[in-house]
Amino acid sequence: MPKIMNTSGNPFLIGENMNDWPLGLSTGCFYQRSIFDCLNSVASSGFRQSEVCSSPAHLDYHDRPAVRRAAEKLRKLALEGHSFHAPFAEHIDITSPDARKRANSIGEVFAAAETAAELGARFFVIHPGPEHAAHPLGMEWSERLENVVDALEMISDRCRKLGTICVLENKLPHLIFGNLPDIMWILEAIESPNIGVCLDTGHAHLAGDLWNVARSLAPYLRMIHASDNRGRMDDHLPPEEGEIDWARLFVELAAHGFQGSIILEIAGRGGIPEILHSATRACSYLKGQAAAARREQSRNSQSNEAMGEAPPVFTRAFPGDREAPRPEH
């Protein structure tokens, strides 16, 4: 069974038969500020879960004393470091045909995984591919696919030993391995049970296929990155300010047995108070959408019962569907 999350005292819970999905906040909205300048405000706003951003200006994962200070700060604030986002940049490419660049990139990801463990993160979020749009052809494409699978096997094993779970984020659709067929191929090729998925709603909406992406990734789904957009740019708007039908998404998630957290990943527009006001307002909106989803779910159940049909049950086993791994010493 998945590790049970301590959600006591969390004012941001979807609640009831939406599986008590906790709502957390990514500190990516403060990526240009030190983590030590914003954690008090995040906690005082009512959040009990966070994803920590790996921006050097926010928290340099190479700075071990700073990482230890951040871990202690999270503990003192009773703010769960639910997840840690691996670094992503042009120079980090775990798929590279250049063996030296690939090894250096994997080394960077390993260093970030150490930070995830230090912060007590349950999940380590990673983009499965480089941050550029050039799509190689022929043999290079095949080589990169093989490289990403080999690299993720190593990374997931390292995460297992550190006591965290590696989750792949669906990328922007124009990037390498940003389309659904590629990420499904990667997931099915990986043998490690310590791999899951983080569904980025904004990226999937920009692909024009949020519902198919959500259904396809459901067997692997561990957490959600929640942001909205208007179908043109990855704006990282708070839910409600874009085009996504959140009630419909919640119905889809519930139908497929989702039992993870929803982490707001919104842009940092304005000062800390303004950003947190937007975040808490988004949480209230999502609660309202969940209520609408529950009503629709109830109507669907009643309709199925009237027709003598059993409601759909999600039965496919999740790879690594067990307690989070304990660190190996």
Give a yes or no: residue 317 inside a domain: no
Predicted pLDDT at 17: 45
The verdict on residue 326 lying in a domain is no
Tell me, yes or no, whether 318 lies in a domain.
Answer: no
Q: Tokens 């959040």: give the residue.
A: 47
The residue type at 244: I
pLDDT for the residue numbered 327:
55
Residues 283, 295: Cα–Cα separation, whole Å: 19
pLDDT tens-place string over residues 98-120: 999 999 999 999 999 999 999 99
Count of domains observed in the chain: 1
Domain that holds residue 289: 16-306
In a domain, 192, yes or no: yes
Task: Give the per-residue pLDDT at 3.
Answer: 34
CATH number at residue 226: 3.20.20.150
Question: Which pLDDT belongs to residue 12?
Answer: 57
Tell me, letter by letter, the H, E, C secondary structure of 128-196: CCCCCCCCCCHHHHHHHHHHHHHHHHHHHHHHHHHCCEEEEECCCCCCCCCCHHHHHHHHHHCCCCCEE
For residue 126, the model assigns a pLDDT of: 97
169-226 pLDDT per residue, tens: 999 998 888 889 999 999 999 999 999 999 999 999 999 989 999 999 999 999 999 9
Distance CA 46, CA 12 (A): 7
The answer as to whether 67 is a domain residue is yes
Q: Is the residue at 95 inside a domain? A: yes
pLDDT of res. 288: 87
Q: Is residue 322 part of a domain?
A: no
What are the C-alpha distances in Å from 27 to residues 55, 57, 174, 279?
A: 10, 12, 25, 11
Residue 328 inside a domain? The answer is no
Enter the pTM of the model: 0.87
Strand partners, 65: none
Measured between alpha carbons, how far is 264 from 34 in angstroms, rounded to an integer?
19
CA–CA gap between residue 40 and residue 26 (Å, rounded): 14
Q: What is the pLDDT of residue 196?
A: 97
Residues of the chain with pLDDT under 70: 1-19, 301-329
Query: For residue 267, what pLDDT is reported?
Result: 96
